[in-house]
A and B are shown apart, each in its own frame.
Chain A
Amino acid sequence: MDATLSVEHVTKRFGMGETAITAVEDVSFDVAEGEFVSLIGPSGCGKSTLFHFIGGLTAEHGGRVAVAGETISGPHPAIGMVFQEESAFPWRNVIDNVGFALELRGMPRAERLERARHYVALVGLQGFERRHPSELSGGMRQRVAIARTLAAQPRILLMDEPFASLDEQTRLLLGEKVTEIQQQLRQTTLLITHSLTEAVQLSDRILVMTFRPGRLRRVVQVDLPRPRNDDILTSPEFGAYVAELWGDLREEASRGLQAAEHAAG
């Protein structure tokens, strides 16, 4: 199956009349099969709104999302999502959390546990298989959620700030592993992030969003070779990409801050 993701003229408003907020306005882009695209933008610019829309979790449609050219209506089997909020099931231990999607599909127990164990190890949680989320740190819980979606081996991977609660080192290492899998499986990937370095480290392209209404401001092609090892992460080219993005984002972020101050004052 061709796993191209197309987003066309997506618009989403919240509320009505005076207080209506246009969270996302006329956003269109494609993510080619096997491509890794990041979406970056200031807090509150509509990234999660767009994320839910692409995942088929939003009821009212304005615009369309297509997988391999076919418009989707609701959650699509090819799409796997990692959410921004903490989402490990508190009543399941780590291994059963990670095997959740496989369990829904009716995969035999032994096979499921084996696959789950593999992904638990991949996110660095071996030894914690029988622990419950309440016994883990916030970052570990987030890794459980990442492993749960990876274990489902989706053709299209959507992630909403999956590494936000991790420290810089873990974030780099985990980012490396996720791209490794992504390259292997040629997963079509859309990553939403706050982090400029993360976006440059992982992406083929970066979409920069504006603050309210959320539009696409610019698309940056990242022409750095893979794998993006330490040499590349410390290279001047890498720094140049980050600086360039920061120039764009700074403007949008300060508009976001002003809007917040205005609303508060």
Chain B
Amino acid sequence: MAPAYALTVRRSRLAAALLILTAWQALASSGLLFRDVVPSLWRIAAALATTLTAPAFYANLRVTAFEFAVAIAIGSMAGVLVGLALGASHFLSRAYERWVHYLAPVPKIIFFPVLLLAFGAGLESKIAMGTISCFFPVAISVAAGVRGVPPVLIRVDRSFRATPWQMATKIYLPAVRAALLNGLHLGFGVAAIGVLLAETKLSKAGIGFLVMDAYHRFDMPGMYALLLLVVFLVAGVNMAVTRISRS
């Protein structure tokens, strides 16, 4: 891309951001809406500072990060295994793959009551929400990736009498690398949604809980501050995954 073009792109982005902030500030000071629904930028900035200096924020962040990490670890591992099995076995794919496809777009939050009953209102039910969210995109991408592997490569492997484990680690995994990273990318995103959403229900800890808590206390600047932080955190994780997958 030409440098001049890149500069124009960056300037347009900056201009749009400024426009949004100005509009927000104008709306806040216009008095058209109830004052607390659209707090001024200064009050949000102040709330941001308060939040970032309070130990409670970090304690809750740790809870969310832990839930998220466990959820993506279990969810993507299960997704990879199921995806490899569905992709490699014609029989399993014919028998079960449609279930995975039917369940994938169902909003997982409707299962949350079941998870609450099964795991209680603590960490486990939130982790379970993240796990099932992460599982589906990973399983589907990996299964499609496996089917995209050129048949001759599998024949080579069979002709050298590779064991099923060697087949999985030396052919399927490297061959589906791109599809896998794509699936993980999607999976991490929905796992974050699943965990945060679960935290907004019945939970007593986590960033999602803090947001709802701010809302219930009608601390709108505090709530917006938290929302901003969530957006930046999720974007940060996303960027990290993209960077890793390019390397």
Query: Which chain B residues numbered 137 to 174 have a C-beta less than 8 Å away from chain A?
Result: 150, 152-153, 155-156, 158-162, 166, 170-171, 174
Once the chains bind, are B159 and A91 in contact (CB under 8 Å)?
A: no
Q: Is B161 touching A91 in the complex (CB atoms < 8 A)?
A: no
Which A residues lie within 8 Å of B156 (CB)? Answer: 81, 83, 87, 89, 145, 148
Contact B153 A100, beta carbon cutoff 8 Å: no
Q: How far is the CA of A85 from the CA of B159 in the complex (A)?
A: 14
Q: Is the CB of B155 within 8 A of A152?
A: no
Give the shortest distance, in Å, between A53 (CB) and chain B (any CB).
12
Residue in A57, A85, A152 whose CB lies within 8 Å of B158: A57
- Separation in Å of the B158 CB from the closest CB of chain A? 6
Pairwise interchain contact B159-A55, C-beta atoms closer than 8 A = yes
Contact, CB under 8 Å: B161 / A83: no
Which size bracket describes the interface of B in this complex?
A: 10 to 19
- Is there an interface contact between B150 and A104, defined as CB atoms closer than 8 Å? no
Secondary structure of the B side of the interface? Answer: helix
**A225: Cβ under 8 A from any B Cβ:** no
Q: Is A146 positioned at the interface, with any CB of B under 8 Å from its CB?
A: no
B44-64 vs A, CB cutoff 8 Å, 1 = contact: the mask equals 000000000000000000000
Interface residues on chain A, number (Cβ under 8 Å): 23
Decide yes or no whether B11 CB sits under 8 A from chain A.
Answer: no
CB distance from A58 to the nearest CB of B (A): 11
Considering only residues 97-127 of chain A, those with a C-beta below 8 Å from chain B are 100-101, 103-104
Q: Does B214 contact A (CB under 8 A)?
A: no
Q: Say whether B160 contacts A100, CB under 8 Å.
A: yes
> How many contacts between A and B, using CB within 8 angstroms?
49
Per the bound structure, the CA–CA distance linking A55 and B177 in Å amounts to 29
Q: A75-B158, A77-B161 are in contact. Are A91 and B175 (CB under 8 A)?
A: yes
Are the C-beta atoms of B153 and A87 separated by less than 8 Å?
Answer: yes
**A80 lies within 8 A of chain B by Cβ:** yes
Tell me what chain A mostly uses at the interface: helix, strand, loop, or mixed: loop
**Residue in B155, B174, B177 whose CB lies within 8 Å of A89:** B174
Give the residue name and chain of the A residue nearest to B166 (CB): A104
Rounded to whole angstroms, the CA-CA distance of A55 and B160 in the bound complex is: 10
In the complex, the chain A residue whose C-beta lies closest to that of B162 is A104
Contact partner of B174 (CB less than 8 A), chosen from A79, A91, A152, is A91
Q: How far is the CB of A96 from chain B (nearest CB, A)?
A: 10
Could you tell me the distance between the alpha carbons of A176 and B150 in the complex, rounded to whole angstroms?
Answer: 31
B contact residues vs A (CB 8 Å cutoff): 150, 152-153, 155-156, 158-162, 166, 170-171, 174-175, 177
* In the complex, the 6 A-B pairs of residues with the closest C-beta atoms, listed nearest first: A85-B152, A91-B174, A81-B159, A101-B160, A87-B152, A87-B156
